[in-house]
Chains A and B, each alone.
Chain A
Amino acid sequence: MTETTMPAPDRRPGFAERMRAAASSGRLSAALILLPPALILFTLFVILPLGESGWYAFYDWNGYGTPEDFVGLRNFEQMFGHSVFSVAVGNTVKILVISLLVQMPLALLLALLVYKQTPSNAVFRLIFFVPYIMAEVAAGLIWSFVFDGNYGVTASIATTLGIDRFFVLADRDLAFYAIMVVIVWKYFGFHMMIYIAALQGVPDDQIEAAQIEGASRTQIVRHVQIPHIAPAIAVSAFFAIIGALQVFDIIIPLTNGGPSNQTHTIVTYLYEFGLTRLRIGYGSAVGVVLFVAAVLTAVFYQRIFMKRGAS
Chain B
Amino acid sequence: MTAHVWRNLARLTVLLIVSAFVLAPLWATVMGGFKTNAEIRTAAFSVPEAWNLEFYSGIVTDPAFWRYMGNSLLISSAAVVLTLIVGSAAAYVFAQVKFFGSEFIFSYLLLGLMFPFATAILPLFIKVRDIGLLDTYWAVILPQTAFGLSLAILLFRTFFQQLPKELFEAAYIDGCGYVRFFLRFTLPLSTPILATVGVFVFVQSWNNFLLPLVVLNSRDVFTWPLGMMQYRGEYVTQWNQTLAFVTLSLVPAVVFFLAAQKYIVAGLTGGAVKG
Residues in chain A within 8 A of chain B (CB atoms): 1, 15, 18-19, 22, 26-31, 33-35, 37-39, 41-42, 44-50, 52-53, 56, 63, 106, 109-110, 113-114, 124, 127-128, 130-131, 133-138, 141-143, 145-146, 148, 150-153, 155-157, 159-160, 185, 189-190, 193-194, 196-198, 201, 217, 231-232, 234-236, 238, 242, 245-246, 248-249, 252-253, 267, 270-271, 274-275, 280, 283-284, 287-288, 290-291, 294-295, 298, 305
Contacts and interface: CB of A to CB of B under 8 A. Distances in A.
A3 B105 CA distance: 25
B14 A113 contact: yes
A46 B185 CA distance: 31
Contact of A138 (B14, B122, B225): B225
B116 A53 contact: no
A30 B93 contact: yes
Contacts of B115: 50, 290-291, 294-295
Interface of B: 7, 11, 14-15, 18-19, 21-23, 25-26, 28-29, 32, 37, 40-45, 85-87, 89-90, 92-93, 97-100, 102, 105, 108-109, 111-112, 114-127, 129, 142-143, 145-147, 149-150, 153, 168-169, 172, 177-179, 182, 203, 206-207, 209-210, 214, 225, 228-229, 232, 237, 239, 242-243, 246, 249-250, 253-254, 257, 264-265, 268-269, 272-273, 275
B116 A49 contact: no
Given A113-B14, A137-B228, A137-B229, A193 B265 contact: yes
A34 B146 contact: no
Given A37-B89, A41-B146, A294-B116, A56 B122 contact: yes
Interface of chain A, main secondary structure = helix
Contacts of B129: 63
B118 A270 contact: yes
Closest 5 CB pairs of A and B: A197-B269, A30-B178, A45-B146, A156-B44, A38-B90
A12 to B, nearest CB: 13
Contact of A39 (B105, B237, B239): B105
B228 A141 contact: yes
Contact of B172 (A1, A106, A131, A136): A1
A275 B229 contact: no
B268 A142 contact: no
Contacts of A148: 239
A134 B242 CA distance: 16
Nearest to B11: A113
Contacts of B142: 41, 44-45
